[in-house]
């Protein structure tokens, strides 16, 4: 059965890019641009991997990650941050926030897929 | 006069170095040396006359004259050693010895010379030393007792004076003793005068010091009450020293600084030197109606330590404190200015970092789509992308490129404004069509977001003189902001009206509102209210900062009023007439100070 990836991303074009890329590699995708909705979806769908944008409307991706990591049932789902915050210190701060991996935008397609594979094969 | 000067110079040369620079000591030494030298020299001068009158002298007479060398030796002793008290003791001994020898050989206590014993303690009085006086008195007394005892036990040698000359000798003895005592009295009086004069000199010197020193010296009791404060405080605090005594000074100390003030004094009272800085109220010159002007505080630095009492120790229970105070207001002001400048520099630095981080973020977001989709097209075979998909991706890349271009243009506009290279071209134009046109452009966006866009512009809106391109940009930025920051179902109202010689443009929304803290920073480039990682709205944060500069360029004003969750109203007023030519024509991020009477220009008002 195909693995499911939840994409949390508020930019429509980037959302489409990630969906198309993942689907082309045989993953099932689900997406939202809203952090609160993301948490509901994680609970409902139990995805195998979460791609998390950090700058989101209303609530930041870091906050959503913290909620997920604070929940014993959801903690094991890996969260990969995919963000345009690529200044010095951003990666450390985001990893400290609980994300298992960090990808800066603009992504390299090869590295992106490789990272996804590392977590869910 | 010349002779006395020569004698004076000779005397000065004889003074011991230790007495040369102390006025009182040198006066005493002179008073010791001068009469002894002069007396001895006079006696030597008189010796030949004596010989001529008396004929060959008896052994005793020779001895007596030889004894007159003693004062010269004493003067030499003082001149060499500077030991004033010892010199006096030796002098008393020499005098008493001479008197004893003369008295014993001329009839004991009944001798004409016995009265001279009185002179011994008198001479010692000049030493100004209690010990020397006590010694001399005891010496004279014991000499007198010895003479009586010798007489009583009949041990006197036969008197050398014959009975006939007794009366003459007695007259000589009393007269000479009286004269010498008188000389001593004059010497004592002159010494006293000198010491009083010196005291006055000293006092004058201290008064000069106290009057001309800007530092204030004060004496406090342990509880901080002022017992003495030097007059320098009057220029410092504008009030008299007497009004500061007791708790007068404490009452003027700034309430916030009172604990530190009292702690320092009480610590100093316990023996530890302390330094403290505090504010003190100063009396300003009163105006015509006799009322004093606004309250004014100055910073004083006070160093205080326990007051040493005369015997060099601090009394254990009654410790007083001596303090030196100095006006450090200028230094304090400089420190504060420096601190402000440092904070300002820190803020500017943080703003710059934020600017760069946001710029990086805003450029990377569209670049992600551009690079990602183009890479997918490159790998079209592997990813099995058909022609339709390829075309779709090309369109997405184009859209992202357009967005990227708008970000870059915004940044360029900003940097042009920052460097002062952004110019406007004022011309007469009708604001109403421009306004309606802008609103039409944004109507679609408003409908997409389910927002009611209401435009209220009267038909008779007059022409204004300004840059129509800039006007459109102002309206577009403000209205798109209002739409962006409104919840679904909200309303954005755009209204224009003429108020005197100014056009008022008001854009209100029912959106999220802006917190008070964020209001202050609103209009900083790239700044968008809310937390960094929690941006809920698209955009570069450049819009309002550009609007601010453009409005400033037209000599207008911008006000933002907002309440969290209740919406925001941005009011822009532009002059109907042409904006002034000159430096105002160039926009900068920090517009020049507005002319007087328009101090509210560019200033963001807080919500009521």
Q: What is the pLDDT of residues B487-546, one digit of tens each?
A: 888 899 999 998 888 899 999 988 877 777 777 767 665 555 554 444 445 555 677 888
pLDDT, residue B538, reads 54
* 3-state class (DSSP) for residue B491: strand
Mean pLDDT of A84-92: 89
The SS3 assignment for B162 reads coil
Q: What is the structure's pLDDT at B310?
A: 54
Q: Model confidence at B600, in pLDDT bands (50, 70, 90)? A: very low
Give B464-490 pLDDT, tens digit per residue: 888 888 888 889 888 988 888 888 888
B357 CB neighbours in chain A (<8 A) are 85, 87
Phi then psi for residue A102, to 5 deg, are -135, 125
Does the beta-carbon distance from B533 to A62 stay under 8 Å? yes
**CA A90 to centroid of chain Cα atoms:** 16
Q: Which long-range contacts (CB under 8 A, 24 or more apart) does A42-46 make?
A: A42/A6, A42/A68, A42/A74, A42/A77, A43/A74, A45/A4, A45/A6, A46/A4, A46/A74, A46/A77
**Which tokens is B378 given?**
């490159």
> Would you call A34 an interface residue with chain B, using a CB distance cutoff of 8 Å?
no
What distance in Å separates the CA atoms of residue B466 and residue B538, rounded to the nearest whole number?
30
What pLDDT, on the 0 to 100 scale, is given for residue A21? 93
Helix and strand counts by DSSP (H, E) for chain A: 5, 5
Q: What is the DSSP string of A52-95?
A: E-SS-SSS-HHHHHHHHHHSTTTTTS-EEEEES--STTHHHHHH
CA distances (Å), origin B562, targets B133, B300, B385, B482: 95, 44, 50, 12
Check CB contact of B456 with chain A, cutoff 8 Å: no
Size of chain B, expressed as the number of residues it contains: 608
Q: Which of A58-72, B365-379, B403-417, B594-608 has the lowest mean pLDDT?
A: B594-608
Interface contact flag, B361 A84, Cβ < 8 Å:
yes
Confidence of residue B584 (pLDDT cuts 50, 70, 90): very low
Residue A108 is given by DSSP the state P
- Name which of B339-348, B410-419, B425-434 the model is least confident about: B410-419
| Residues of chain A positioned with their CB less than 8 A from the CB of B362 | 84
The answer, yes or no, to whether residue B602 has pLDDT greater than 60, is: no
Q: How close are the terminal C-alpha atoms of chain B, in Å?
A: 93
Q: Tell me the pLDDT tens digit for each residue of B6-23.
A: 777 877 777 888 877 777
Shortest Cα distance from B367 to chain A (angstroms)? 6
Maximum CA extent, chain A? 40
- What is the CB neighbour count within 10 angstroms for residue B557? 20
Chain A CB within 8 Å of residue B391 CB? no
pLDDT over 70 for what percent of chain B?
Answer: 87
Alpha-carbon gap, residue A7 to A51, rounded angstroms: 5
A109 and B534 in contact by Cβ < 8 A? no
Query: Which chain B residue lies closest to A105 (C-alpha atoms)?
Result: B368
Helices (H), B420-486: 431-448, 468-484
Residue A99 to residue A96: CA distance in whole angstroms: 7
* pLDDT at residue B595 greater than cutoff 60: no
Q: Report the C-alpha gap between B306 and B268 in whole angstroms.
A: 5
Q: What is the mean pLDDT of residues B454-473?
A: 88
Paired tokens of B74:
């004493």
With 70 as the cut, is the pLDDT of residue B188 above it?
yes
Residue with tokens 């007495």: B19
d(CA B160, CA B185): 32
Count the Cβ atoms, other than its own, within 10 Å of residue B235: 10
B394 reaches A (C-beta below 8 A): no
| Chain B residue whose CA is closest to A21 | B376
Residue B49 has pLDDT above 60, yes or no: yes
Domains delineated in chain B: 2-208 (no CATH), 214-327 (3.30.450.20), 336-417 (1.10.287.130), 423-606 (3.30.565.10)
d(CA B533, CA A56): 7
Chain B residues with CB-CB distance to A55 below 8 A: 361, 532-535
- Is pLDDT of B100 > 90? no
Question: Is the per-residue pLDDT at B69 higher than 90?
Answer: no
Show the tokens assigned to B96.
């008493």
B11 CB burial (10 A radius; 0-12, 13-18, 19+): middle
What token pair was written down for B470?
């800039």
A interface mutation test: which of B358, B365, B386 has the most A CBs within 10 A? B365
Beta carbons of B368 and A17 less than 8 Å apart? yes
Report whether B319 contacts B309 (CB < 8 A).
no
DSSP three-state, residue A34:
coil
Cis check: omega of the bond before A106, within 30 degrees of 0? yes
Using the beta-carbon criterion (under 8 Å), do A84 and B369 form an inter-chain contact?
no
* pLDDT score for B535: 44
SS3 call for B286? coil
Give yes or no for A20 touching B (CB within 8 A): yes
- The pTM score is 0.52
Confidence of residue B392 (pLDDT cuts 50, 70, 90): very high
Give the pLDDT confidence score for residue A98 in this predicted structure: 92
Query: Can you give the pLDDT at residue A100?
Result: 94
Of B400, B533, B534, the CB nearest to A13: B400
Query: What is the rounded radius of gyration, in angstroms, for the C-alpha atoms of chain B?
Result: 52
Please check whether residue A59 is in contact with residue A68, taking contact to mean a CB–CB distance below 8 angstroms: no
Residue B88 has pLDDT above 60, yes or no: yes
Burial class (CB in 10 A: 0-12, 13-18, 19+), B161: middle
Residue of B nearest to A62 (CA): B533
Considering only CA atoms, which of B278, B534, B550, B284 is closest in space to residue B414?
B550
Taking contacts as CB-CB distances below 8 angstroms, the residues of chain A near B373 are 17
| CA dist., res. B238 & res. B344, Å (int) | 35
pLDDT band at B553 (very low <50, low <70, confident <90, very high): confident
What's the distance, CA B253 to chain centroid? 16
Q: Which pLDDT score, from 0 to 100, does residue B370 have?
A: 94
């Amino acid at each position: 059965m195909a693995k499911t990836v939840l994409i949390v991303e508020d930019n429509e074009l980037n959302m489409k890019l990630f969906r198309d890329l993942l689907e082309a590699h045989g993953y099932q995708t689900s997406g939202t641009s809203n952090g609160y909705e993301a948490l509901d979806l994680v609970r409902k769908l139990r995805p195998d991997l979460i791609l998390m944008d950090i700058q989101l409307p209303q609530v930041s991706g870091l906050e959503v990650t913290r909620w997920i990591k604070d929940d014993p049932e959801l903690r094991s789902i890996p969260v990969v941050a995919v963000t345009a915050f690529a200044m010095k210190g951003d990666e450390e701060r985001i990893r400290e926030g609980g994300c298992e991996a960090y990808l800066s935008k603009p992504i390299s397609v090869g590295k992106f897929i490789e990272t996804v594979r590392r977590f869910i094969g | 006069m010349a002779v006395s000067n020569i004698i004076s110079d000779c005397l000065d040369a004889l003074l011991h170095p230790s007495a040369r620079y102390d006025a009182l000591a040198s006066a005493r030494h002179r008073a010791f040396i001068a009469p002894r030298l002069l007396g001895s020299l006079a006696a030597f001068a008189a010796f030949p006359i004596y010989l001529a009158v008396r004929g060959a002298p008896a052994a005793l007479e020779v001895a007596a004259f030889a004894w007159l060398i003693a004062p010269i030796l004493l003067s030499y002793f003082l001149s060499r050693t500077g030991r004033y008290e010892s010199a006096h003791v030796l002098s008393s001994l020499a005098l008493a010895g001479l008197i004893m020898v003369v008295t014993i050989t001329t009839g004991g206590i009944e001798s004409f010379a016995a009265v001279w014993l009185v002179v011994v303690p008198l001479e010692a009085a000049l030493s100004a030393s209690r010990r020397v006086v006590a010694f001399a008195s005891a010496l004279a007394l014991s000499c007198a007792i010895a003479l009586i005892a010798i007489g009583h036990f009949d041990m006197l040698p036969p008197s050398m004076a014959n009975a006939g000359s007794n009366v003459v000798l007695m007259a000589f003895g009393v007269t000479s003793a009286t004269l010498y005592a008188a000389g001593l009295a004059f010497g004592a009086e002159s010494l006293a005068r000198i010491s009083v004069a010196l005291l006055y000199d000293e006092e004058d010197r201290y008064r000069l010091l106290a009057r001309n020193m800007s530092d204030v010296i004060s004496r406090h009791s342990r509880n901080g009450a002022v017992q003495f404060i030097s007059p320098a405080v009057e220029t410092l605090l504008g009030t008299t020293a007497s009004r500061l005594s007791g708790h007068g000074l404490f009452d003027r100390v700034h309430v916030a600084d009172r604990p530190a003030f009292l702690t320092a004094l009480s610590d100093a009272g316990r023996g530890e030197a302390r330094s403290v800085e505090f504010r003190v109220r100063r009396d300003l010159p009163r105006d015509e109606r006799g009322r004093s002007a606004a309250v004014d505080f100055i910073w004083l630095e006070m160093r205080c330590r326990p007051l040493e009492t005369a015997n060099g120790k601090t009394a254990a229970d009654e410790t007083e404190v001596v303090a030196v105070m100095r006006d450090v207001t200028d230094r304090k002001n400089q420190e504060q200015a420096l601190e402000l400048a440092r904070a300002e520099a820190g803020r500017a630095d943080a703003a710059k970092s934020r600017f760069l981080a946001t710029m990086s973020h805003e450029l990377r977001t569209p670049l992600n789509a551009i690079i990602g989709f183009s890479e997918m097209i490159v790998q079209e075979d592997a990813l099995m992308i058909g022609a339709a998909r390829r075309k779709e991706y090309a369109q997405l890349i184009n859209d992202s490129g357009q967005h990227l271009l708008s970000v870059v243009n915004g940044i360029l506009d900003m940097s042009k404004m920052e460097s002062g290279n952004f110019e406007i071209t004022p011309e007469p134009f009708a604001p109403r069509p421009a306004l309606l046109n802008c609103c039409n452009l944004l109507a679609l966006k408003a409908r997409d977001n389910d927002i009611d866009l209401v435009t209220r512009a009267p038909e008779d809106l007059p022409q204004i003189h300004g840059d129509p391109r800039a006007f459109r940009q102002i309206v577009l930025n403000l209205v798109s902001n209002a739409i962006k920051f409104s919840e679904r179902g909200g309303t954005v109202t755009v209204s224009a009206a003429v108020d005197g010689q100014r056009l008022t443009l008001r854009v209100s929304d029912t959106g999220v509102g802006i917190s008070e803290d964020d209001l202050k920073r609103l209009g900083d480039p790239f700044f968008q209210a809310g937390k960094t990682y929690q941006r809920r709205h698209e955009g570069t944060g450049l819009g309002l900062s550009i609007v601010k500069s453009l409005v400033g360029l037209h000599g207008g004003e911008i006000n933002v009023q907002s309440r969290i969750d209740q919406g925001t109203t941005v009011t822009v007023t532009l002059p109907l007439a042409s904006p002034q030519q000159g430096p105002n024509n160039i926009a900068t991020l920090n517009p020049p100070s507005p002319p007087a009477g328009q101090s509210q220009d560019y200033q963001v008002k807080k919500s009521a």
